[in-house]
Structure 1
C-alpha cells in the first residue's frame, strides 16, 4: 500500500556549505519498503543528496536513532507521515546523511587489545547507541554506550579479561556512570542494551564499591534532555 510522506531532510556538504539546512520533500512510497528505499527516492529527486549504504547504515528520524533497513510501515506507525531525517550526529557530517565516525572507532580502540579482531563486527552493531546519547556532545572523551554494551559482551566471552575491561569503563570522567537511559532515543527501544549496561555498572561497583555523587547527579540531569 502506498502512502505520501512529508519530509524535512538535513542537508550539508562539509566541502562547500557554511551552514546546514533542511530541504522539503513529498515522497510517495510503498509502506512495505525500507528507509534505504526512501533515501534512494530522495536521491532520484535530487542527485546531489547522499546517504550511507551497507548493513550499518543509520540515521535519526524525529530525533531517534535507527538503522536504515527499518521498514517504512513501522516508521509510519511509530512516527506518523511527517518526518525529519537527520544524520546520526549533525556535528560530524561530511555529506548530508554521511558522518565521520572516527570518534566511534576511537572508543573501540580503548578495549581493542583485550578482544579478538573479529569481535569488532559486534561492536559496530552498536553504532546507533553511541550516537543516540546526549552525553556525547557534552563530555569530551565520553566512551559511549556502544562501548559499554560491547564491554559487557566481551566480559562474557573473555572472562579472564574481565577486570581489565572493568577498569577501562570505570573511568569516572568518561565512563559508564555517565550513561543515561536511551530507550526514548532509539528505535526500536533497546531494552536489552539497557540491561547490559546496568549489569556492567553493577560489576564496576563490585570492583570499586563507591559512587561519585556528582557523576550520579549529572546523569540524572542528562536523563531529562
Structure 2
C-alpha cells in the first residue's frame, strides 16, 4: 500500500545562509521503504546536501536515527509529518551534512589505548551516541557518550588500564558526571550501552549527595474529576520512565502542551561536580513549556517539585531568563481534579512560585 508523508526538510548552507530554513514536500512511500529511500526521492526532486549511504545519521521529529530505519516504524512512533534535521544543527555545513571534527577529535584522545582501525570503527558506530546527547546541547566540551563507551571497552579488554581510564573520563568539567540517558532520544536505542555507562559510574568512588533522584516512580490513582481545567494550557515533565500525566491533563478538558523535552534525563550525578548543570536542563524544560504558553507544568513528584519550583530562581539565573512558571506534582493535580481547593492541604503554600489559578 502506498501512503503519503508530509516532510519539512532542514536547509542551510554555512557559506551563504545566516539562518537555516525548512522546505516542505509531500512524498509517497511503501511498506518497506527506508529513510534513505525517502531522502533519495526528495533529492531527485530538489537537490540538497546529505550522504546517500546506509551509515548516514539524521534527526526526525526530535529522534536521532540511522537512515536505514523503516519509514513505517517512525510513522508508528511519531506521525506521518516528518521534520528532518541534521544530527547537530550547531555543526551543520550543508543541509543535513555536518562538520564532525569535534566528535573525531575526542576519539583521538584514546590513541594510547586503541588502534587506528578501532578509531575508524568507533567513528562509524558511535556517532549518534555523541550528537544525540542532551548534554552535548548544554556543554559542548562534554567528552561524549562515545568516549564513555570506548572507555568501557578499553577497561574490559585491559583491566590494568582501569584507573588511568577512569581518571580520564571523570574530569569534573566535562566527564561522565554529565551523562544524560539517550533512551528517549535515539530511535531503537541499544540499552546495553546505558548499562555500560552505569557500570563505569559504579567503578568510581562512592559519594553521598543530596541531589535530584536518579529515577522517580510515581503512582497516581485515576482521578474522579469534579474540577475541570477547560481553557488552560498544561504541560508535563514525565522523565526517563515516561510517568505520563498527559491522559489526566486531556481528561481535565485542558489543552495538553506536548513539549519535546518531557522525557529528558535530569543528570542526577552532575550534582556531584556542578551546581548548575541540572538547573540548565530543568531551565530548558521550563522555558519550552513557557514558550508554548503553558499556564503550569505537571511534574512527577516531590523531588521534581523541589527542583522545578524550589530552585526556579536559581534556574532562572543559570539560563539567564525569567520564567515564573507554576509547578505542581501529579499527586497534587489528582487532588485538584477531585475538587480540592485548599492551598495548604494541597501543599501549594510551600511552593516558591505562586499557584495563581486557585
Residues 5 and 27 in structure 1, CA contact (< 8 A), matched pair in contact too? yes
* Secondary structure of residue in 1 paired with 2:184: helix
Give, in angstroms, the shift of residue 95 of structure 1: 0.5
Residues 181 and 194 in structure 1, CA contact (< 8 A), matched pair in contact too? yes
* Secondary structure of residue in 1 paired with 2:112: helix
Give, in angstroms, the shift of residue 221 of structure 1: 5.7
Q: Does 1:29 align with 2:29?
A: yes
Residues 2 and 28 in structure 1, CA contact (< 8 A), matched pair in contact too? yes
The CA deviation string for residues 57-79 of structure 1, in whole angstroms up to 9 with x for no partner, is 10001111111111112111112
Inter-partner Cα distance in structure 1 for 2:191 and 2:70 = 20
- Matched with 2:158 is 158
Give, in angstroms, the shift of residue 27 of structure 1: 0.3
* Secondary structure of residue in 2 paired with 1:185: coil
Residues 35 and 69 in structure 1, CA contact (< 8 A), matched pair in contact too? yes
Inter-partner Cα distance in structure 1 for 2:150 and 2:87 = 19
The answer to which of 210-219 and 3-12 deviates more is 210-219
Query: Structure 2: which 5+ runs fail to align?
Result: 210-270, 286-358
Equivalent positions of 1:159-174 (< 5 A) are 159-174=159-174
Inter-partner Cα distance in structure 2 for 1:210 and 1:152 = 24
Greater helix share, 1 or 2?
1
Q: TM-score, normalised by structure 2?
A: 0.58
- Matched with 2:116 is 117
- Matched with 2:61 is 62
Assess, with a 3 A threshold, how the Cα gap between structure 1 residues 11 and 186 changes in structure 2: closer, same or farther: same
Q: Does 1:128 align with 2:128?
A: yes
Assess, with a 3 A threshold, how the Cα gap between structure 1 residues 83 and 97 changes in structure 2: closer, same or farther: same
Inter-partner Cα distance in structure 2 for 1:19 and 1:98 = 15
Query: Structure 1: which 5+ runs fail to align?
Result: none
Inter-partner Cα distance in structure 1 for 2:277 and 2:25 = 39
Greater radius of gyration (CA): 2
Q: TM-score, normalised by structure 1?
A: 0.90
Equivalent positions of 1:1-225 (< 5 A) are 1-47=1-47, 49-124=48-123, 125-205=125-205, 213-215=272-274, 218-219=277-278, 222=281, 225=285
Residues 9 and 84 in structure 2, CA contact (< 8 A), matched pair in contact too? yes
Inter-partner Cα distance in structure 1 for 2:152 and 2:208 = 20
Inter-partner Cα distance in structure 1 for 2:100 and 2:135 = 16
Inter-partner Cα distance in structure 1 for 2:278 and 2:196 = 17
Give, in angstroms, the shift of residue 216 of structure 1: 7.7
Residues 138 and 280 in structure 2, CA contact (< 8 A), matched pair in contact too? no
Give, in angstroms, the shift of residue 219 of structure 1: 4.3
Q: CA-atom RMSD, angstroms?
A: 2.1
Residues 49 and 96 in structure 2, CA contact (< 8 A), matched pair in contact too? yes
Inter-partner Cα distance in structure 1 for 2:184 and 2:79 = 16
Inter-partner Cα distance in structure 1 for 2:279 and 2:193 = 19
Inter-partner Cα distance in structure 1 for 2:79 and 2:114 = 42
- Matched with 2:324 is none
Residues 178 and 216 in structure 1, CA contact (< 8 A), matched pair in contact too? no
Residues 104 and 130 in structure 1, CA contact (< 8 A), matched pair in contact too? yes
Residues 177 and 219 in structure 1, CA contact (< 8 A), matched pair in contact too? no
- Higher RCO structure, 1 or 2 (CA under 8 Å, sep 6+): 1
Inter-partner Cα distance in structure 2 for 1:21 and 1:55 = 25
The CA deviation string for residues 151-184 of structure 1, in whole angstroms up to 9 with x for no partner, is 1122112223222211110101100010011111
